[in-house]
Amino acid sequence: METKKIKVIVTKIGLDGHDRGLKVVATILRDAGMEVIYLGKFQMPEDIVKAAIQEDVDVIGISCQSPNHILLIPQVIRLLKENDINDIMVVAGGIIPEPYCSQLKSNGVNEIFGPNTSSQEIVDYITSNVRRRV
Amino acid sequence: MEKESSSTKKCQIETDLFHTASGIPVKEIYGPRDIEALDYLGDLGDAGEYPFTRGKHRGMFRNRRWIERVEVGFGRPTDSRERVKYLHEIGQSDIEFQTDLPTEMGIDPDHPMAQKETGLEGIPLSSLADFEEAFEGINILDHTLSIMTTHGSGATSLCQMIGLAEKRGIDPKTLRGSVCSSNPLSHDPWGFPCAQPMDLSLKLCIDTIEYCAREKLGIYPCSITGYIMEQTGINAFQTMAFVMAAGIEIIERALQRGLRIDEFVSKIILHLQVGMDFFENIAKIRALRRMWAKMIRERYGAKDLKSCTPNIVIRTAGDSLYDRQPTNNIIRVAYEVLASVLAGVQAIDTCTFDEPLALPAKGASRIALNTQYIAFYETGVVNTADPLGGSYYVEHLTNKLESEANQMLKKIEEMGGLITAYEKGWIEGVLTEAALERHKIIESGEKTVVGVNKFVIPKEEEESIPIELISPEAQEEHVMKVKRLKETRDNRKVRQALSRLFEISPLDKKINVIPAVLDATRAYATIGEIWGTMRKANGYPYDPFGVIQDPFLAD
């Protein structure tokens, strides 16, 4: 039985450079058997969505330690919608205060992983909720 | 041995604790044999005496308090200024502004990539106008002014400081303060790149050092930021080695300018982190003070003793704080402050306990400051210099860290120095390994973190703390303000100043650009315009992100 690997883009958004967590998450997902594309720093919503379409990914994982998340992540969601894409899961992680978490979730972000989420929780969430395309 | 590990519980605690954070094994007890070779005058000396292991000044905190501060930077310049005024009301003597990301990158608030980032996690200081607004109503001679930034804005922040003094009729020589982290070696190798190129940034940093030395300014133009290195997860002796290696790169370049070591080196600040491993952090600072002193005197031949002992500035460790039961962070910061005081540092910048959750709230900033006052006024630890000096354990650990750091420094130097080690990708390897290791030991429970992986309470019982949210309106207002400035200033003057800067900027001309950057700053040229001009003069695209064009000088 062959299953296609889950394909994930992990990325920073905007100008925030703190990527220690993102690198750790990239390794965790890779170790869990996913195909991980590390987009890196200084990515704007347009860059992220473009890469996601080109690479035909299942998941976009965005890391931010700056409050820019509340302004930039909704733009990612909007761009996905504008491109008629509704089967890519969007998850975020980093320092995101609670009020913004609810706001982002109602905006269309599937899940937000705070600072103490375990590796297993992230892997489990993605594997059980990914909207696989046929 | 058998007897001690009779209960499983105890056994678990043992594996947890009996080595330092950097993995140095710790024995049951230390005695005279562990420091047999220690020579008091050669290795320690009294505080204020070479090699300064025991402290920079005679009597240390008996004679002067460390500079206590809490970082400020959010919203418009006026928002940050109001917070600083509040901190002054409750006793802070310093002003420490953390610049926002666009400023750190060297781009303007109205840049398409900056508009949604302006004022989010720092203060925007894109022009002298922002600087004037940030300090309005504040007597700049009453306080030390610290701008925490990157090489993206080190030179412009320095020029804005001078520009502000001039506008107020103050001799810039009388200003006290620092422009911290203004060299690329404090950022790029550690995964926090500013958007500006390494060669230009490094040259600009040396320009600021040379300018401050030749003009005899009191401002400290450069700090080597071990703090940023340590936030990647590397350990104490790795940090020490990297700080020394960065120091060598900078000192060598300043000497090549024809400066004498005694003219500039005391103006280089070492900025470090003090984290939770109490004794190792104390030993780290003491050992680094000794290593630095020996290098400056023995390798670089400094004659002035003052040159041999840098100002060591501490920030408590942001990455030692957790979002679970966040008030526990107050206790963590207090231990880190105590360690910093016992290590004898010159300035302490306390993290606020809400840092893992949001930007510092007003109340949290007050607690962060009070943590320092309590250490100073209530604990009695300031009554004598280096109270831990002579402790068998602390001296042993100081020696051990020094020797580990020296070994690593030797390796870096054999590779060709810090910049080569970075360009070869060697540093990246060290960092990735450290980050994964840190994650592993916390997740596996090998390292106990109270309230996080032990003594955990259900999420619904977690206390809720006040969180300050950002204001998109303030952000938009500031972006508009910068656009207006660009329309209303005397653009003829700006154009003239930038043309001059363009002419002298090519690296092969070897001209110190600070006087020209200062002229541009006086004319209200912005950081993005100043960088763009210097970039273009050296064959780089005007805009590091390739989005905007040069409004002044046609391509």
Pairs across A and B, CB distance < 8 A: 76
* Nearest Cα residue in chain B from A15: B101
DSSP string, A4-58: PPPEEEEEE-TT----HHHHHHHHHHHHTT-EEEEEESS--HHHHHHHHHHHT-S
How many Å separate Cα B242 from the centre of its chain? 14
pLDDT digits (tens, 9 = 90+) for B54-107: 999 999 999 989 999 999 999 999 999 999 999 999 989 889 999 999 999 999
Q: Which of B36-50, B216-230, B359-373, B464-478 has the lowest mean pLDDT?
A: B464-478
Range of the domain at A16: 7-129
The reply to whether A114 falls in a domain is yes
Q: Which residues of A touch B (CB under 8 A)?
A: 14-20, 23-24, 27, 41-42, 44, 66-68, 70-72, 95, 97-100, 114-116, 118-119
DSSP string, B160-208: HHHHHHHHTT--GGG--EEEET-SGGGTGGGT---SS-HHHHHHHHHHH
Token pair for residue B289?
A: 């003070």
- Residue B202 · residue B154 · CB < 8 Å: no
- The radius of gyration of chain B's CA atoms, rounded to the nearest angstrom, is 24
List of chain B residues whose C-beta atoms are within 8 Å of the C-beta of residue A20: 191, 231-233, 431, 435
- Residue A52 · residue A112 · CB < 8 Å: no
* Nearest Cα residue in chain A from B472: A71
Residue B322 contacts A where some CB pair is shorter than 8 Å: yes
Q: Tell me how close the Cα of B361 comes to any Cα of chain A, in angstroms.
A: 12
The reply to whether A2 falls in a domain is no
Q: Tell me how close the Cα of B193 comes to any Cα of chain A, in angstroms.
A: 7
Q: Kindly tell me if the per-residue pLDDT of B6 is higher than 70.
A: no
- Residue B176, number of CB atoms within 10 A of its CB: 17
Q: Tell me how close the Cα of B358 comes to any Cα of chain A, in angstroms.
A: 6
- Stretch (H or E) spanning B464: none
Question: Any idea which residue has 């400081």 for tokens?
Answer: B161
DSSP 8-state symbol, B458: -
Q: Kindly tell me if the per-residue pLDDT of B7 is higher than 70.
A: no
The reply to whether A134 falls in a domain is no
Residues in CB range of B446: below 8 A, 6 or more apart: B15, B16, B440
Q: How many residues does chain B have?
A: 555
Q: What is the mean pLDDT of residues B533-544?
A: 97
List of chain A residues whose C-beta atoms are within 8 Å of the C-beta of residue B117: 14-15, 66, 68
List of chain B residues whose C-beta atoms are within 8 Å of the C-beta of residue A100: 469
Question: Facing residues of B454 across strands?
Answer: B450
- Residue B351 · residue B333 · CB < 8 Å: yes
Sign of the CA dihedral running A99, A104, A105, A106: positive
pLDDT of residue B246: 97
With an 8 Å Cβ cutoff, are A95 and B357 in contact?
A: yes
Q: Is A101 exposed, middle or buried (0-12, 13-18, 19+ CB in 10 A)?
A: middle
Average model confidence (pLDDT) across chain B: 93
Percent of chain B exceeding pLDDT 90 equals: 82
Q: What is the dihedral of CA B220, B314, B343, B224, to 10 degrees?
A: -50
Residues in CB range of B143: below 8 A, 6 or more apart: B88, B93, B94, B95
Question: Any idea which residue has 């046609």 for tokens?
Answer: B554
Half-sphere exposure of B336 (CA within 13 A, CB side): 27
Rounded (5°) CA angle B97-B98-B101:
140
pLDDT digits (tens, 9 = 90+) for B425-441: 999 999 988 888 888 88
Q: Kindly tell me if the per-residue pLDDT of B404 is higher than 50.
A: yes
Give the β-pairing of A89-94 and A59-64: parallel
Give the nearest partner residue to A97 out of B120, B232, B358, using CB atoms. B358
pLDDT digits (tens, 9 = 90+) for B280-305: 999 999 999 999 999 999 999 999 99
- Stretch (H or E) spanning B251: helix B236-256
Give the Cα separation of B281 and B459 in Å (integer). 32
Residue B357 contacts A where some CB pair is shorter than 8 Å: yes
Q: Tell me how close the Cα of A63 comes to any Cα of chain B, in angstroms.
A: 14
How many Å separate Cα B95 from the centre of its chain? 14
Token pair for residue B359?
A: 């930007």
Q: Tell me how close the Cα of B318 comes to any Cα of chain A, in angstroms.
A: 12
Of residues B354 and B182, which shows the higher confidence score? Answer: B354
pLDDT of residue B182: 78
Q: In a mutagenesis test of the A interface, which of B107, B188, B470 is the best target, namely the one with the most A β-carbons within 10 Å? A: B470
The reply to whether A103 falls in a domain is yes
DSSP string, B87-107: HHHTT--EEEEEBPHHHHHT-
Cis previous bond, A74, omega within 30? no
- Give residue B555's pLDDT band: very low, low, confident or very high (50, 70, 90): low
SS3 at position A49? helix
Residues in CB range of B67: below 8 A, 6 or more apart: B93, B94, B144, B313, B346, B347, B348
Q: Which of B164-178, B346-360, B437-451 has the lowest mean pLDDT?
A: B437-451
- Give residue A20's pLDDT band: very low, low, confident or very high (50, 70, 90): confident
- Residue A77 · residue A46 · CB < 8 Å: no
Q: How many domains does chain A have?
A: 1
With an 8 Å Cβ cutoff, are B470 and A70 in contact?
A: yes
The reply to whether A68 falls in a domain is yes
Give the Cα separation of B46 and B386 in Å (integer). 9
The reply to whether A75 falls in a domain is yes
pLDDT of residue A133: 57
* Nearest Cα residue in chain A from B228: A18
Which CATH number covers residue A71? Answer: 3.40.50.280
With an 8 Å Cβ cutoff, are A20 and B356 in contact?
A: no
Q: How far apart are the first and last CA of chain B?
A: 76
- Residue B148 · residue B97 · CB < 8 Å: yes
Give the Cα separation of B478 and B262 in Å (integer). 43
SS3 at position B452? coil
Q: In a mutagenesis test of the B interface, which of A16, A18, A20 is the best target, namely the one with the most B β-carbons within 10 Å? A: A20
With an 8 Å Cβ cutoff, are A23 and B435 in contact?
A: yes
With an 8 Å Cβ cutoff, are B101 and A114 in contact?
A: no
Give the nearest partner residue to B232 out of A20, A98, A118, using CB atoms. A20
Give the Cα separation of B22 and B90 in Å (integer). 37
- Residue B213 · residue B179 · CB < 8 Å: no
- Stretch (H or E) spanning A106: helix A98-107
Token pair for residue B58?
A: 């005679």
pLDDT of residue B111: 96
In B409-468, the residues whose Cβ lies within 8 Å of chain A are 431-432, 435-436, 439, 443, 452, 464, 467
- Residue B215 · residue B173 · CB < 8 Å: yes
With an 8 Å Cβ cutoff, are A20 and B191 in contact?
A: yes
